[in-house]
Amino acid sequence: MDRISELQEHGISSVDFTGKNSVFSLPILGKGFVGIVIKANIDRNTVAVKIRRVDASRKELQHEAKMLLEANSVQVGPKFQSVSKNCLLMELINGNLLPLWLKSHSEKRFVKSVFKDLLNQCRRLDKLGLDHGELSKAPKHIIIDKKMKPYIVDFETASNTRNVSNVTSICQFLFLSYGPVGKTALKILGNRNRNKIIKVLKKYKTKKTNENFNLVLQACLY
Ligand SMILES: Nc1ncnc2c1ncn2[C@@H]1O[C@H](COP(=O)(O)OP(=O)(O)O)[C@@H](O)[C@H]1O
Ligand SMILES: [Mg+2]
């Protein structure tokens, strides 16, 4: 079945070319190695559809759907809607990717609360045993919506058998890396005690207790 018929099978009546990315000069919500994400309409509801690229290494989107559903069980990720071989329908997150969001939101208390929310989401994933897999280089996998709610997206490389490293990866990305996000975060939040963060992350890594997670929160977001 071709992709257009597949979209129709999901009840999609039209798609909207809108967003900050583009394919063939058509604006879309986003693109990655596996798929492109576009805005689509089912009756009066709007959804995000990830359409598997014809050249994607993955043969289907069922694995991602399963991982997203598990994440949803602990209130993480856009809400799953439905899936077929080449299309994954989910809640549309209206917002900006973290690096862009940070450019227009430099108020310390907002950044702090968004980061805290993210760390807590990662903690819930760690507890669940679901490893996202791409959070240490997350510039394209965190969307902040208009209500300043952060969403972790793209569960394509997630796993429920691998060792979990969501909390450690996101902290690495937000507080220890020297990329644009790390640098901006440092500027907004002020100097962090790097050695202390590394120390508590090591501790958390060996024993993922609530107590050790609280030490991570304290070191990163006091
Ligand atoms: N539910 C969503 N709502 C809005 N935009 C999304 C959503 N899911 C993904 N995107 C956008 O699409 C991009 C590509 O999606 P992603 O799942 O990362 O694809 P890939 O697996 O190909 O990397 C993301 O970086 C993000 O900008
Ligand atoms: Mg991706």
**Considering just the CA atoms, what is the radius of gyration of the chain in Å?**
18
This prediction's pTM: 0.95
Shortest CA distance to 102 belongs to which of 75, 142, 136?
142
Q: How far apart are the CA of 97 and the centre of ligand 2, in A?
A: 12
Q: Cβ < 6 Å from ligand 1: which residues?
A: 29-35, 37, 48, 50, 78, 90-93, 97, 140, 143, 153-154, 156
Which atom of ligand 1 approaches the CA of 28 most closely? 12
Give the closest residue (by CA) to ligand 1 atom 21. Answer: 34
Produce one character per residue of 164-188: b if its CB has 16 or more CB atoms within 10 Å, e if not.
bbbbbbbbbbbbbbeeebeebbbeb
Burial class (CB in 10 A: 0-12, 13-18, 19+), 5: exposed
Per-block average pLDDT, block size 10, for the chain (222 residues)? 87 89 86 92 93 87 97 98 96 96 94 98 98 90 97 97 97 93 92 94 98 97 89
pLDDT tens track for 179-213? 899 999 999 999 889 999 999 999 999 999 999 99
At 39 the pLDDT is 95
Q: Whose CA is nearest to atom 26 of ligand 1?
A: 30
Domains for the chain: give ranges and CATH numbers. 3-91 (3.30.200), 95-221 (1.10.510)
Q: Which pLDDT value is given to residue 1?
A: 67
> Do 138 and 114 meet the contact criterion of CB atoms below 8 Å apart?
no
**Which ligand lies nearest to the CA atom of residue 139 in the structure?**
1
Q: How far is the CA of 77 from the centre of ligand 2 (A)?
A: 13
